[in-house]
Structure formats: C-alpha cells, structure tokens
C-alpha cells in the first residue's frame, strides 16, 4: 500500500500542480498574441475614429457580427426593442422612405438624387447592388467628404419589419453575408471615421 | 511513521486538489492604483470559482434586492458574457483620449478591462464563465416580467 502510494504521489502532484498553476497565468504568459484573422466564417464590424487634434483621440471598436446579432435582442431600452429600432419619421415630411426604397430596388443602376448647393454637394446612387451616398461639405476643407455604402440586401433587411421600425438584427444578418466592405468613411480637417466589415478580429491601420 | 506519512500525504493531496478545484476558473482580479491624492491601492484577487459558490451564502433578501436592481440589464450582461466566451482572444474597444486610455478585450477566456489616466490606473480581469454564472444566478432572483 505504501509503495503504491509512493508511486502514485508524483503523478498526483503533477496533475494537481498542472490544474493549480494553469489558470494562474502560466498559459497566458506563454501564449502568443491573438492572431489577426478570426475563426472560420467570423465576420467583424470595425469602427475607427481618429481625431488629429492636439489630444490625438483615437477610438477603435471591433464587434463580432454574430455576437451583435445575439446580444441586440437582449437590449430593451428606449426605442430599441427585440433587435428593432422604432423610427417615428420613416414617413419623413410626407416622403415615404419605404416606398422610395421599393422603387429604387427595382430600378436600374444610376444616380437618383443630386443636390448641389453652396454648402454641400450630395448624391445618392445605386450601383452594383449597393446604395451609395456621397456628401461633400463645402464649408469645410477641400477633402472633407462623407461616403456611405450600404448593400441593398442590408437596406432591404433593415426595412423588413413593420412600417415604422428598422430591423437591426435582420440588417446585421444580411451584412454578415456580404464580403469585406467599407460601409462608412468620413474625412474632414480633424477627423477620420471608418466603419467596415471584414474577417479580422483586430483593427489594422 | 508510515501512518504519519499517509496522513500527511492525504492532507497534502486534499489541500492541493482543493486548491486546484478552487483555481480551476482562474482569478477574478481588481487592481486600482492611485498615485495622486492619498494614493490608494486596492488589489483584490479572488478565485473565480468561489464567487458563484459564495452567492449561495448571501441572504436571500439581499440576493432578491440585487436581482431586482439588476433585472433590467442582467439579460444583456448574460448574453454578452455567453457570446464573448466564443471569442476568447479579441480586442473589443480601445480608446485613447490624450492621456486617458481605456482598453477592453478578451484574453484566455477572461474579460480584461484596463483604464489609465494621470494619477490612476485600474485593471480588471474576470473569467467570462464567472460573469455568465453570476448573471444567471442573479437572473433567478429577478422579478418575473
């Protein structure tokens, strides 16, 4: 009995020590840094804001789309319920946004809205299954611009709910099916804002 | 002599196994270091596995009170903790604002929050499984909606 205990002791000690020390950070210290490419099929939504003022503010947010899809329905606050946002002004100033979209969906590619004023140039167009919005603010620098690119399938999914709401979860689900795409790009004198979708779990600038 | 050795071995093995069980989920760590004012330093290191266990010893009325207060956001916390476990290595948020810095990430199955500003640093490390357990436990005390 004593012999068998003696033989088992090193094994027990090793097992116990392994369990004991593993969670304390040995693995963390020896592990390599997170790889930039995430697991198979994972889609990440990235937001990057860089302000070049004296304080040099930078914001980087990386959200797995799958997680956002699962978590959003758990939020029940203000206008957001069950993954849907209630929008009161979907019928904006007599303009039925839904009907406009339905019309644009069936239409051919082209520039649908062009506004040229002293303050800004705005254009809304449909091209290669994407809704593109370009804004050039003339009050700011020459390079000041806003570009929004939303796949039509995503817009369609967003509007799939009832008339006065946007189905964010459906939109995210549709977005997950898209390839790598830059959704929003804003650039002016001091700020650079980018929102894009890819398969990497870190922001690489 | 052999009897003493057996008792020592039994005791030692029990301690080691209890330690291994206690630390199996890692540590819940909160480190707050202030270098301004009175320069408070708070360091809390708790084996994560004992947190859900300890909740069973909290008086029921206190738990019910906590459950009611947390009822609004606990489903969200639970959903986030559950989903984040699928992303054990991820950079989630990083904010630089002058000399202030906040970073939220997951590493090795833990949620890590680092916040720094002149005169104060805060580091929090909590296993995601523990957040999941605690939120689930608290949810049982939340009033039925």
What does the pLDDT look like over B79-121, one tens digit per residue?
Answer: 899 899 999 899 999 999 988 999 999 998 899 999 999 999 9
Q: Residue A203's pLDDT band (boundaries 50, 70, 90)?
A: low
Report pLDDT for A31. Answer: 38
Provide the token pair at A204.
């690489």
Q: Using CB atoms within 10 A of its CB, is residue B70 exposed (0-12), middle (13-18) or buried (19+)?
A: middle
Q: Are A9 and A97 within one domain? A: no
A85/A17 same-domain check: no
Q: Are residues A18 and A84 in the same domain?
A: no
Q: Give A4 to chain B, closest Cα distance, Å.
A: 12
B90, closest residue in chain A (CA to CA): A201
Over residues A6-30, the pLDDT tens digits come to 555 555 454 444 444 444 443 433 3
CB contact under 8 A, B76 and A28: no
pLDDT of amino acid B38: 81
Residue B69: pLDDT band (50, 70, 90) is confident
Out of A38, A55, A202, whose CB is closest to B98?
Answer: A55
- Burial class of residue A146, CB neighbours in 10 A (0-12, 13-18, 19+): middle
Highest mean pLDDT among A82-96, A138-152, B8-22, B54-68 belongs to B54-68
For A40-108, where are the E strands, in sequence order?
44-51, 58-64, 76-77, 80-81, 84-86, 91-92, 95-96
pLDDT tens-place string over residues B25-42: 788 999 999 988 788 899
Residue A203 within any structural domain of the chain: no
- Higher-confidence residue: A144 or A143? A144
Range of the domain at A22: 1-31
What are the DSSP calls for A1-37, one per residue? -HHHHHHHHHHHHHHHHHHHHGGGTHHHHHSPPPPSB
Q: Please tell me the total count of domains within chain A.
A: 2
Give the C-alpha separation, A60 to A204, whole Å.
10
A15 and A43 both lie in a single domain: no
Q: Same domain for A146 and A161?
A: yes
Same-domain status, A14 and A113: no
Residue A12 is predicted with a pLDDT of 47
Residues of B in contact with A16 (CB under 8 A): 13, 16-17, 19-20
Average pLDDT over residues A62-72: 91
Domain segments of chain B: what residues? 27-139
Q: Is the pTM of this model over 0.80?
A: no
How high is the pLDDT of residue A205?
A: 57
Question: CB B16 to CB A13 under 8 A?
Answer: yes
Question: Of the given ranges (A25-29, A41-45, A119-123, B127-131), which has the lowest mean pLDDT?
Answer: A25-29
Same domain, A27 and A53: no
- Say yes or no: A107 and A22 in one domain: no
For residue A106, being part of any structural domain is answered with yes
Distance to chain A for B76, nearest Cα, Å: 5
Q: Is residue A204 part of a domain?
A: no
* Chain A contact present for B25, CB below 8 A: yes
Distances (CA, A) of A171 to A88, A185, B133: 19, 19, 31
CB A171 within 8 A of CB A161: no
Q: Which residue has the tokens 């390599």?
A: A32
């Amino acid at each position: 009995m004593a012999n068998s205990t003696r033989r088992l002791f090193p094994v027990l000690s090793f097992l116990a020590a392994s369990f004991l020390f593993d969670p304390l950070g040995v693995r963390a210290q020896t592990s390599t840094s997170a790889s930039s490419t995430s697991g198979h099929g994972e889609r990440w939504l990235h937001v990057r804001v860089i302000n070049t003022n004296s304080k040099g503010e930078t914001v980087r947010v990386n959200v797995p789309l799958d997680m956002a899809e699962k978590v959003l329905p758990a939020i029940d606050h203000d206008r957001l319920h069950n993954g849907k946002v209630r929008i009161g002004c979907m019928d904006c100033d007599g303009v039925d946004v839904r009907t406009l979209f339905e019309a644009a969906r069936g239409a051919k590619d082209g520039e649908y809205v062009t506004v040229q004023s002293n303050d800004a140039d705005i254009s809304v167009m449909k091209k290669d299954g994407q809704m593109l919005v370009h804004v050039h603010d003339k009050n700011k620098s020459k390079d000041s611009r806003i570009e929004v690119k939303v796949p039509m399938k995503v817009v369609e999914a967003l509007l799939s709910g009832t008339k006065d709401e946007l189905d964010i979860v459906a939109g995210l689900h549709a977005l997950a099916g898209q390839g790598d795409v830059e959704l929003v790009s804003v650039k002016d004198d001091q700020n650079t804002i980018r929102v894009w979708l890819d398969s990497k779990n870190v922001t690489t600038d | 002599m052999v009897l003493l050795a057996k008792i020592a071995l039994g005791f030692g093995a029990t301690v080691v196994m209890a330690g291994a069980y206690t630390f199996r989920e890692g540590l819940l760590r909160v480190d707050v270091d202030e270098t301004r004012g009175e320069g408070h330093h708070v360091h809390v290191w708790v084996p994560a596995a004992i947190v859900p266990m300890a909740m069973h010893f909290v008086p029921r009325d206190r738990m019910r009170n906590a459950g009611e207060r947390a009822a609004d956001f606990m489903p969200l916390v639970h959903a986030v903790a559950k989903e984040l476990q699928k992303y054990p290595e991820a950079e989630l948020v990083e904010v630089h604002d002058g000399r202030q810095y906040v970073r939220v990430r997951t590493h090795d199955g833990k949620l890590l929050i680092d916040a720094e500003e002149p005169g104060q640093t805060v580091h929090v490390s909590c296993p995601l499984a523990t957040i999941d357990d605690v939120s689930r436990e608290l949810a049982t005390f939340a009033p039925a909606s």
